[in-house]
Amino acid sequence: MFGNLFEEDEESFSAVPTGGNAAKATDAEPPPPRGSVKLSGIKNQGGTCYLNSLLQTLLFTPEFREELFSLGPEELGSLADKDKPEAKVRVIPLQLQRLFAQLLLVDQQAASTADLTDSFGWSNSEESSQQDVQELNRILFSALESSLVGTSGSSLIHRLYHGNVVNQIVCKECGNTSERQEDFLDLTVSVKEDFLDLTVSVKGVCGLEEALWNMFVEEEMFEGNNLYRCSRCDHLVTAAKSAKLRKLPPFLTVSLLRFNFDFVKCERYKETGRYSFPLTINLRPFCEQTDRPDSEFTFELFSVIIHKGGCYGGHYHVYIKDIDQLGHWEAPDEESKPKVQKKEVKVSEPEVEKEDPLSVLVGILSQEEGKSVLVDQLGQKLLDRIGISWNRKFRKQYGPIGKFLQSHSEVFMLLANGTRVTLKASSPAPGAGTRADLTRLRPGPAPERATEEPEPRPADGGRWFDLNDSTVAPISGKAIEKQFQGKESAYMLFYRRAGLSRPEEAKGNPSYRVPPHLVQLAQEENCQLQQRREEFDASRNTIEVRLHLAPQYQVTNGALQPVGRGQDSVITITFDRRKTVGDLRLAVYQMQDLWEGDMALTVAKSLPAGLHLYNTLSDDQQSLYSAGVRDGSDLFVWNGREVGGASVQTGAEWEPVLLTLVRPSLEEERRRRRRMRGRGRGGAGDAGGAGLRRTERGSRAGPRWGP
């Protein structure tokens, strides 16, 4: 799908961009700073949400991030030399280092991946086309391995992500285990398979644990007419073929096969059924070697890449656990709401039966080989165990045995389309059925607490965030369960070995193990961003205001008219509209050295009749923006009472209106009189008539004046 988009030149290790992204347009407005979560998102270049989700996962994998940072310029070269033909510059890891440093240290809401995708050799069409994140994960790792050959990081991907699976055939007579390729009838099956990620089935299974059980515990039997020739027994015997995890990497990547093909309809479709996966999983039952401590087999979920949409398009985002507490986590709104108090209901403690079904069934399964049994045989084993059948002892209270198993999915796991049942790895030990268990199982009302307490705040390192391109938001651990099914559901899972610990100095320290030259670059970029923001804010908030000085005006017929030339009575100043009215008044005071007494600033407007005043800016603490002063506003500077000894009416109701009287000329008047006499009409009544024309409509309450 990606072709050779990640390939670098073998001689120079320098990738030459093949697309049209050499010159990236930069917005005039600087990027906004990080939000309250203190984490940075990644800009979407048009269809790169899948890339953003994977990059954020790698960033929040501390061991990967720090091993990448440990590679210095002496091994990777310098980006400044990438165009020199003799230089050996490993562009992809260098750009990945720079991007990680920006995400950790640069104060911006979202970082750009333009330089990184240029190092891939991507064109504009490849940046705007969505691809599959699972395939991207494999090819990106392969590209990194190729790019790091000959450096101390050449085994980085292998050490952190490579695991392997072994296929075996076990003789049921002598116990001999064979891993010979010739013993497998299906020659397409490799005896030993390496993996970067485990691809597990979604169709027909209820969750990750069942899928792993089907892959690594279920056995294919060679029996009847299909016997196996054992090399040790030297004859045909009954045998079992199975697969086991031989090597577990520190970081286990699981890909869910949600996209399938319908051969009847000849079309692809997405599996949207419920598929659960645990926050913590013990992989011991699926491994070949089981004699190591539990810490070697216990893995914790720390990233879930989610796909929203169908198989022909959609959107990716990622849920990530902040292991190093780099972000500021706050409880989501739904968690911070107060819980409704409930009345305490007192109920009598139920009578505990001698044998409750949960502990009985757990005890039966724990004694079975592989801790599993056919559901049809479970009833008979129960009868043998307690001397009475399920239907006679438990059916009335708990229903059929199959329904009981399904309702306790936290303990039992149904396999092979519900025909076989096994215990989950986290199931209680035999005999662990307690009074509380029986209380939960028995019908009837359950005891309630006096108040429903809110979910406790997550422990340190247990804070989850939703990183959705440029947006980062805190979420609760329970939000992960919402991605078990539906159009928006989990697509890739990333587990981290529980035994891996983090040093205390890494907690809350985004610059931990970041190379000094990258820290310096980030600091310089922060200074530039701060300067750009200040300049942009200043340019966006700088306005021009025209000041009309009262000594240069007089009141004529109810309006203000300049005494001399109009341009001499107006002063234009530039001012920051975020400053207050008091700041502007002080600035005008400093400009007018000879001003005496009070100073009022009143919004004015030039009308045909003259300058008119409206509202006076009286609140010195109010910003000019809040006061309504805009670019090009007129302000009249006076004492607030009179101008040149004459009082001034202010407000919209006192707007002056200019009336122009139009009188006919003497010759026109004579012609009019002659026409009137010719028609036999007397013109005395019309003598001296004049036409009126209003050049501006004003308030009826305003004064009328004219020449």
| pLDDT in the model for residue 344 | 47
Strand partners, 646: 643
Residue 525 has pLDDT above 90, yes or no: yes
Q: Name which residue leads in pLDDT, 586 or 426.
A: 586
**SS3 string of 432-482?**
CCCHHHHHHHCCCCCCCCCCCCCCCCCCCCCCEEEEECCEEEEECHHHHHH
User: At 564, is the pLDDT very low, low, confident or very high (cuts 50, 70, 90)?
Assistant: confident
**Active-site residue identified among 233, 287, 311, 315:** 315
| pLDDT in the model for residue 335 | 56
Whether the CB-CB separation of 166 and 242 falls below 8 Å is answered with no
User: At 691, is the pLDDT very low, low, confident or very high (cuts 50, 70, 90)?
Assistant: very low
What mean pLDDT is predicted for residues 276-295?
Answer: 91
| pLDDT in the model for residue 155 | 95
Lowest pLDDT segment from 106-110, 349-353, 582-586: 349-353
646-647 and 559-562 beta bridge pairing: unpaired
Lowest pLDDT segment from 55-69, 349-363, 451-465, 609-623: 451-465
Q: What φ, ψ does residue 196 adopt, rounded to 5°?
A: -95, -30
**SS3 string of 58-108?**
HHCCHHHHHHHHCCCHHHHCCHHHCCCCCCCCCHHHHHHHHHHHHHHHCCC
Residue 246 has pLDDT above 70, yes or no: yes
What mean pLDDT is predicted for residues 506-531?
Answer: 96
| pLDDT in the model for residue 546 | 94
| pLDDT in the model for residue 507 | 94
Whether the CB-CB separation of 71 and 151 falls below 8 Å is answered with yes
Q: Which helix (H) or strand (E) holds 544?
A: strand 542-549
User: At 705, is the pLDDT very low, low, confident or very high (cuts 50, 70, 90)?
Assistant: very low
Q: In angstroms, rounded to a whole number, what is the distance separating the alpha carbons of residues 111 and 104?
A: 10
Residue 700 has pLDDT above 90, yes or no: no
Q: In angstroms, rounded to a whole number, what is the distance separating the alpha carbons of residues 583 and 576?
A: 10
| pLDDT in the model for residue 422 | 82
What mean pLDDT is predicted for residues 244-258?
Answer: 95
The residue assigned the tokens 């009286």 is 618
What mean pLDDT is predicted for residues 289-297?
Answer: 87
| pLDDT in the model for residue 457 | 59
DSSP letters for 279-343: SEEE-GGGBS---S-GGGTEEEEEEEEEEEEETTEEEEEEEEE-TT--S-----HHHHSPPPP--
| pLDDT in the model for residue 550 | 92
| pLDDT in the model for residue 579 | 92
Q: Name which residue leads in pLDDT, 352 or 420.
A: 420
Q: Name which residue leads in pLDDT, 554 or 674.
A: 554
Residue 622 has pLDDT above 80, yes or no: yes
| pLDDT in the model for residue 679 | 74
Q: What percentage of the chain has pLDDT greater than the value 90? A: 48
Per the annotation, the verdict on 230 as an active-site residue is no
What mean pLDDT is predicted for residues 599-614?
Answer: 94
Residue 560 has pLDDT above 90, yes or no: yes
The highest-confidence range among 98-107, 312-321, 636-645, 657-666, by mean pLDDT, is 98-107
Lowest pLDDT segment from 5-14, 391-400, 411-420, 621-630: 5-14
Average pLDDT, the chain: 82
pTM: 0.70
What mean pLDDT is predicted for residues 123-131?
Answer: 54
**Active-site residue identified among 49, 171, 206, 230:** 49
Per the annotation, the verdict on 612 as an active-site residue is no
Q: What φ, ψ does residue 591 adopt, rounded to 5°?
A: -75, -30
| pLDDT in the model for residue 187 | 45
Q: In angstroms, rounded to a whole number, what is the distance separating the alpha carbons of residues 626 and 617?
A: 11
Whether the CB-CB separation of 207 and 127 falls below 8 Å is answered with no
| pLDDT in the model for residue 471 | 95
Lowest pLDDT segment from 26-30, 148-152, 177-181, 293-297: 26-30
User: At 683, is the pLDDT very low, low, confident or very high (cuts 50, 70, 90)?
Assistant: very low
User: At 530, is the pLDDT very low, low, confident or very high (cuts 50, 70, 90)?
Assistant: very high
What mean pLDDT is predicted for residues 538-550?
Answer: 92
Residue 487 has pLDDT above 60, yes or no: yes
Residue 610 has pLDDT above 70, yes or no: yes
Residue 294 has pLDDT above 50, yes or no: yes
Tokens standing for 165? 């699976």
User: At 129, is the pLDDT very low, low, confident or very high (cuts 50, 70, 90)?
Assistant: low
Fill in the DSSP letter of residue 623: B
| pLDDT in the model for residue 158 | 96
What mean pLDDT is predicted for residues 75-81?
Answer: 92
Largest CA distance in the chain: 146
What mean pLDDT is predicted for residues 439-448?
Answer: 40
Distances in whole angstroms, Cα of residue 470 to Cα of each of 188, 521, 663:
44, 22, 71
